[in-house]
Amino acid sequence: MERLKSKRTSRRSLNTRIINEARAFLGDSAATIDQLNAIYGRLKANNDELKQINEELESHIADEEFEQEYNTIVEYEDNANSVMSELLSKRDRIVAATSSTAELQTSSVASTAGASGTKLPKLTIAPFAGDLCRWNDFWEQFDQMIHRNGNLTATDKFNYLRFFLRGDAASAIVGLPTTEACYKDAIDILKKRFGDKTRLEQEYFSRLRTLPSVRSSDPTALRKLYDQVVINIRGLETLGVSKTSFSAMLCDILLRALPHDLVVQYHRSCANRATSDSSNAASITELERLLNFLCIELESLEKSEIANHRGRDSHTENALNKSHQFRGSKPTSSVLHNNAMKLPENCVFCKSSQHSTEDCSLDLPLPQKKHILSGDMRCFRCTTKGHRACSTKITC
């Protein structure tokens, strides 16, 4: 028991010293996230050890001393928990302020927009999952918003880097500890794996070699093919690769991917241009000529598609209007009923033209009258034709 009490005394003294250090960090505006995390971890570990010692001592405490011992234990635990909560709160405030600073540095346009009253959306970094062709875009954003931010420590930058990485990119640095030296190592690993110029060139050429074939003059499919070609060409040009170095290869690939009728039209246009203007034909590469032709054909197809849609919409609208007019011209049962009442008729029962059916005085049994009305398809209530749901109120 005495050994346990000695351990508890040491732990309580250490708890008090750590709490005093923590309060100093809480009052220091220059305290970093790393410092707050470190002091929080020390205080939590020591407080957990102190709790375990108190649990072991509980069965050895005399009844008359239990209340005093328990109050002391509660006081130590309350002080530790209070300081740990303050540490977490201060750390969260620093993280929030850091995020705001990074967002403000995304563009110098923000201040001008604020002065003019324009509210722009917040810019965020798109996560990087290992796509080689997206590495340069990711690194430009991360470098401007995080890597060059002087208000962040290297450890903070490393935490942000891990947050924005996904898939293969995250796996590439998964074993590195979050330290200043390892942050530099992580950047080098990512640049070597995803920012290598030779690998990027190979990736762009691979995408051009595997262009999807389009077997019909579908504007949507052709537009997708054209955009994919242009995007990969621009990517190669940003790496310093000239169009002339792959013009012949790409023309052959692109002609194989296009529909047969477009290929025929392209060769026909080349032949016509060669005969009409041979001087300008030599100044334009075959790839540029093919892309220009495809762009013109795409615009023509898209305009034609818009005109066809308008024609179909107009035809559908006219058909609907005619349908509504036809339905509107049909007489309803009430109209038929009113029209039938306006026409002069002979008496149904006695065939006399001197009085109406309602005023007939011929003495006929009721079943016989119903039989006559039913045979002539007349209403049993008002004796007129053309309806069944009669609303006429007749009293005998």
Residue 63's pLDDT is 80
Question: Stretch 306-316: mean pLDDT, rounded?
Answer: 61
Tens digits of residue pLDDT in 111-129:
555 555 566 677 788 889 8
Question: Stretch 342-360: mean pLDDT, rounded?
Answer: 71
Residue 74's pLDDT is 87
**What are the domain boundaries of the chain?**
2-104, 132-195, 201-303, 345-396
Residue 115's pLDDT is 53
Higher pLDDT, 95 or 51: 51
- Mean pLDDT in the chain? 79
- Which amino acid, one-letter code, is at 351? K
For the chain, the three-class secondary structure string (H helix, E strand, C coil) is CHHHHHHHHHHHHHHHHHHHHHHHHHCCCCCCHHHHHHHHHHHHHHHHHHHHHHHHHHHHCCHHHHHHHHHHHHHHHHHHHHHHHHHHHHHHHHHHHHHHHHHHCCCCHHHHHHHHCCCCCCCCCCCECCCHHHHHHHHHHHHHHHHCCCCCCHHHHHHHHHHHECHHHHHHCCCCCCCHHHHHHHHHHHHHHHCCHHHHHHHHHHHHHCCCCCCCCCHHHHHHHHHHHHHHHHHHHHCCCCHHHCHHHHHHHHHHHCCHHHHHHHHHHHHHHHHHCHHHHCCCCHHHHHHHHHHHHHHHHHHHHHHHHHHHHHHHHHHHHHHHHHHHHCCCHHHHHHHHHHCCCCCCCCCCCCCCCCCCCCCCCHHHHHHHHHHCCECCCCCCECCCCCCCCCCC
Residue 233's pLDDT is 87
Tens digits of residue pLDDT in 198-214:
888 888 888 888 888 88
DSSP per residue over 246-271, as a string? THHHHHHHHHHHS-HHHHHHHHHHHH
Question: Stretch 29-47: mean pLDDT, rounded?
Answer: 86
Residue 188's pLDDT is 92
pTM for this structure? 0.44
